[in-house]
């Protein structure tokens, strides 16, 4: 049996075991994908011990993505650009690290709002780990102007400085004005998450057709997306990126590329609804 894992701290809330478990069952693969709770102190020994263990690879999530990047024997171009690894593969006694978050972001928009590749400018709200993956994806797609706003302006400046010439940083207060110039808006912050979430920006100044993508998926319909829909703007929720980032890992470990289709989405949606009812 082929085994893979998702390692994080804490790990109980990860949806990945449900997602990969569904794909394993649907593909009739003799495999297992298990959550593993690993503390930051334990993580280096966990990763270095993988070649001697039973796993073909796995995912790493918060707070281990940067540590994983530093510990892998080899990393892919996306991981190096982003400075973080979310997917591990054990091969020939070595640990190979990749980052599929940017792919997840792009593949989801390709499926739901393919016009995104033609926008002249994109507004990224937030400057944390998720923003790094999004900015890398936007750069890779050739978006000409990547506008970053963040509550802590210095962090936005650091992010823009890291990615270079086609990126620019602005204070959060400028978001409304800048929005009018952008055909795509992406919320990478946690604003809007949970029961009492607000919206990170008002969409008042958005031009017709502006694509609004929120990476938050609990709730699925955030205040930002509700406002987008009310204004007739294409609204893309955060679940799709989660589903798409998982597909390359599954293929590495289990040898089959899973389809990110309606059945997959509905399976994970049912799990989210079950958890909401239980909370």
Say whether residue 128 binds ligand ATR (CB under 6 A): yes
Say whether residue 189 binds ligand ATR (CB under 6 A): yes
Nearer to ligand ATR, 154 or 263 (CB): 154
CA–CA distance, 52 with 33 (Å, rounded to integer): 18
Say whether residue 32 binds ligand ATR (CB under 6 A): no
Sole binder of ligand ATR in the list 126, 192, 248, 249 (CB under 6 A): 126
Say whether residue 82 binds ligand ATR (CB under 6 A): no
> Which pair of tokens denotes residue 214?
């929120």
Nearer to ligand ATR, 66 or 73 (CB): 66
Say whether residue 113 binds ligand ATR (CB under 6 A): no
Contact (CB, 8 A) for 118 and 182: no
Say whether residue 238 binds ligand ATR (CB under 6 A): no
Count of residues touching ligand ATR (by CB under 6 A): 14
Task: Give the sheet arrangement for strand 211-214, strand by strand.
Answer: 167-171, 145-150, 121-125, 184-187, 211-214, 235-236
Sole binder of ligand ATR in the list 150, 167, 210, 264 (CB under 6 A): 150
Sole binder of ligand ATR in the list 26, 151, 231, 265 (CB under 6 A): 151
- Beta strands per DSSP E along 15-98: 31-37, 55-60, 74-75, 87-91, 94-98
Residues 130 to 149 in contact with ligand ATR, rule: CB under 6 A:
130-131
Sole binder of ligand ATR in the list 14, 27, 190, 221 (CB under 6 A): 190
Contact (CB, 8 A) for 77 and 47: no
Say whether residue 213 binds ligand ATR (CB under 6 A): no
Say whether residue 218 binds ligand ATR (CB under 6 A): no
Contact (CB, 8 A) for 269 and 136: no
Residue with tokens 């998720």: 130
Residue nearest to ligand ATR (CB): 128
CB of 135 to ligand ATR, least distance (A): 11
CA–CA distance, 181 with 183 (Å, rounded to integer): 7
Up-side HSE of residue 47: CA atoms within 13 Å toward CB?
Answer: 29
- Closest alpha carbon to 181 in 191, 193, 168: 168
CB of 228 to ligand ATR, least distance (A): 18
The reply to whether 252 belongs to the active site is no
Angle ∠(12,17,19) on CA atoms, nearest 5: 130
Residues that bind ligand ATR (CB under 6 A): 126-131, 150-152, 155, 188-191
Q: What are the catalytic residues?
A: 65
């Amino acid at each position: 049996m082929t085994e893979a894992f998702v390692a994080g701290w804490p790990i109980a809330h990860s949806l990945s075991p449900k997602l990969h478990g569904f794909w394993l069952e649907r593909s009739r693969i003799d495999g297992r994908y298990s959550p593993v709770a690993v503390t930051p102190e334990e993580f280096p020994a966990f990763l270095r011990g993988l070649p001697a263990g039973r796993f073909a690879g796995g995912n790493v999530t918060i707070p281990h993505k940067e540590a994983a990047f530093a510990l892998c024997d080899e990393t892919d171009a996306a991981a190096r650009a982003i400075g973080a690894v979310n997917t591990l593969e054990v091969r020939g006694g070595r640990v190979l690290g990749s980052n599929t978050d940017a792919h997840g972001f792009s593949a989801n928009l390709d499926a739901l709002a393919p016009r995104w590749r033609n926008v002249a400018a994109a507004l990224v709200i937030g400057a944390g780990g998720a923003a790094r993956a999004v900015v890398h994806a936007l750069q890779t797609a050739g978006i000409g102007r990547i506008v970053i706003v963040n509550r802590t302006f210095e962090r936005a400046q650091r992010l823009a400085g890291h990615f270079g010439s086609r990126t620019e940083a602005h204070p959060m207060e400028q978001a409304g004005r800048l929005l009018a110039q952008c055909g795509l808006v992406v919320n990478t912050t946690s604003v809007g998450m949970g029961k009492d979430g607000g919206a990170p920006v008002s969409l008042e100044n958005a031009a017709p057709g502006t694509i609004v993508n929120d990476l938050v998926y609990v709730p699925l319909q955030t205040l930002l997306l509700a406002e987008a829909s009310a204004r007739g703007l294409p609204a893309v929720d955060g679940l799709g990126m989660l589903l798409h980032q998982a597909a390359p890992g599954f293929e590495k470990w289990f040898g089959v590329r899973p389809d990110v289709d309606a059945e997959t989405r509905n399976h994970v949606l049912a799990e989210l609804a079950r958890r909401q009812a239980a909370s």
